[in-house]
Every structure is written in C-alpha cells, then in structure tokens.
Amino acid sequence: MDSKKLDKIVQSFICFSIFILWYFISYVALFLNNYKELYQSGYLISFMSFALWLPLSFIAIRKYSTHYNDIKIGGIDTQSTLFFITFILILRVISAFYDKPEAWIESITTYSNLSFFLFSICVCFLAPIYEEIVFRGFLLNAFLLWGPKAKICGIVLTSILFSLMHTQYSSPTTFIELFTFSVILCYARIYKNGLLLPMLLHFIFNSFATLLFILNR
C-alpha cells in the first residue's frame, strides 16, 4: 500500500471518528440528574450546544487543521448564495404543502421567554456552525477524499444521518425535507470548497423557520 493511500485511509478514519465521538457525546445528557426537567423546559439543547457540541466541534476542526488543510472555511459570493437560497425556498414552499404537525414543535410553546431566547440563539446561530463542521465538514470529507463515486455516496449517507439524527421529529415528510436540505448543503460545501456558504444557508433556513414559529406563536 502506497503512502498516499494510507494517508487518505487515516484521514477518513479521523473524520469519521470525530463524527462518531460527536454523536455519542450527545448521550452525556442522559446522565444528568435533571435531564427530564431540562428537556421539557427547553434548556437541554442550550446546555448541549454551549457546553458540548460547539466546543467539541471547534476543538476538533482546530486540531485537524494543524495536520490537514482539506476542510476549509471557504468564501461566499452573491451569485452562488442566491443560487442555493433559491433551492432552499423551493424546498420550503413544497414542504409547506406536506408538512405535518410535530409534537416537539408544539412543546416549544411551553418554553419560558429566557428558555426560548437561548433556544433560538442555539438553533439560528450555533447549530449552523457545529452541524456544518461535523456533517458537511468531517463526515462528508471522509468520502470526498476518494473521488467522484465516493462523493455521491458521501452526500447520500451524510444526508441520511443528518435527517435521522434530528430525533425530535417523527413525521416522514420532515425527514425527507431534512434529507433534501442536507443534499443542498453538501453541494454548497463542494461548490465553494468550504463551510462558510453551507453555514450561511443553514442559518437562513433555521432563522426563517424560527421566525415563522414566532409569528404563529
């Protein structure tokens, strides 16, 4: 086995391992004495975002970047941003005809003002950062290292896992929407060779959903 292939295997293993670590660290919440109260009050996502998910993502990408340079922040431009926003808007319009009520969405109405504020900060600003680092950064990158055929497999697998890991939802149409949204983000990451554009698109998508919820609250 030549050294280049071995290096790609090591890189892929590191990328996938970081995703696995990020996934299993989510179960830390189950060991909290007041887990049920945090979950019902809406503070659990805020705690996990500020204390675990975001710090782990930053530490992982910083350590990885000291050895490899294939996960970049990239850049954005008006034309490509509007191009991908168009697809997101189309997705939202289509989904509006098929969306079904989610029990988890209904439970957000019971959050206190402070809890909802922190929740909104996490959903709109923090989640687009750490989810893009983990999914379109590390997980997708484990496949991008291996060429065009592996790229397609990576986009599909990344999008399946992205949708399935949003366990707060139960409707099949929601999972289809999340899968499609992830595919758009994957192509945005590949097109601009960086994470900044998918982060921006993720922010727009989540902020729009949060705004609609506030207006209908």
Residue entry with tokens 């697998």? 157
How much of the chain exceeds pLDDT 90, in percent? 75
Is the CB of residue 163 less than 8 Å from the CB of residue 74? no
Q: In one letter, which amino acid is 48?
A: M
Q: Is the pLDDT of residue 119 over 90?
A: yes
Q: Is the pLDDT of residue 2 over 80?
A: no
What Rg value do the Cα atoms of the chain yield, rounded? 18
Is the CB of residue 205 less than 8 Å from the CB of residue 88? yes
What is the mean pLDDT of the segment spanning 173-191?
A: 97
Q: Is the pLDDT of residue 12 over 90?
A: yes
Other beta carbons within 10 Å of 74:
16
Residues sharing a CB contact under 8 Å with residue 52, sequence separation 6 or more, in sequence order: 25, 26, 28
Question: What is the rounded distance in angstroms from the CA atom of residue 145 to the CA atom of residue 68?
Answer: 12
Q: Could you report the per-residue pLDDT of 144-163, keeping only the tens digit for each?
A: 999 888 999 999 999 999 99
- SS3 (DSSP) at 146: coil
Is the CB of residue 162 less than 8 Å from the CB of residue 182? yes
Structure confidence at residue 3 (pLDDT): 79
Structure confidence at residue 165 (pLDDT): 93
Q: Is the pLDDT of residue 35 over 90?
A: no
Tokens standing for residue 86: 């168009």
Kindly indicate the confidence band of residue 215, based on its pLDDT and cuts at 50, 70 and 90: confident
Q: Is the pLDDT of residue 217 over 80?
A: no
Question: What is the rounded distance in angstroms from the CA atom of residue 195 to the CA atom of residue 203?
Answer: 12
Structure confidence at residue 33 (pLDDT): 85
Tokens standing for residue 197: 């554009």
Is the CB of residue 123 less than 8 Å from the CB of residue 49? no
Is the CB of residue 115 less than 8 Å from the CB of residue 43? yes
Question: What is the rounded distance in angstroms from the CA atom of residue 176 to the CA atom of residue 159?
Answer: 10
Question: What is the rounded distance in angstroms from the CA atom of residue 138 to the CA atom of residue 145?
Answer: 11
Residues sharing a CB contact under 8 Å with residue 149, sequence separation 6 or more, in sequence order: none
Residues 44, 46, 52, 58, Cα dihedral to 10°: 160
Q: Is the pLDDT of residue 1 over 70?
A: no
